[in-house]
Structure 1
Amino acid sequence: MMQQCPFCHSSDIHLLEPSQALSANVLTSSMISPATMAALGASVSKSLNVPPIIGAIAGAVIGGVFMFVLDEPESPKVSHSIPIYRCNHCQMQIDPTIRTIQ
């Protein structure tokens, strides 16, 4: 078990469940979804005096490319997974297998 956060040196850390450790990936993928990028493209194209449909199509294509590139295949569930910790002070996720420079 980890005793101290390597970033802020706080001892207020806790072990995350596997589903909690993956929540950042879900948030990032929903922010770069084709629908979000289409809305952003339409908004930007309006401010540039370009028809919004062109910006929406461009944004949807860019969002689709991001989703394709960032999409990770689901890995099989491993019963002996590496524990991930979170510091309650600086909110950083800590992988104990990675060494930090001190």
Structure 2
Amino acid sequence: MQQCPYCHSPHVQLLRRSQQSQPKTHLTFSTCSPMSLATVGMQLSKKFKINPLLGGLIGLVAGGMFLLYIQQQDNLITLHYQCEQCQEHFDIQHAESI
């Protein structure tokens, strides 16, 4: 149950629900695979004279976490409410479950 952030009344009404459009930069990051990021990690570790397996593992984990974050950002929805008591409008954003 939502509460008005202005007067803290529990009497709020959902006006509409909207989903944010995906920026173009998110599309380019989303097309990267975790394996390609692991390869980049291996190549960077060779430059810094670190074990390539360690670099690949770090690239895989860091890249996977980054891709999960980007995917979550792509699914943000905004709920638009109006308080029935003070008549103020407010928005709440949250990630949509896949």
Normalized per residue, the structure richer in strand is: 2
Higher Cα Rg: structure 1 or 2? Answer: 2
TMscore range, shorter length? 0.3 to 0.5
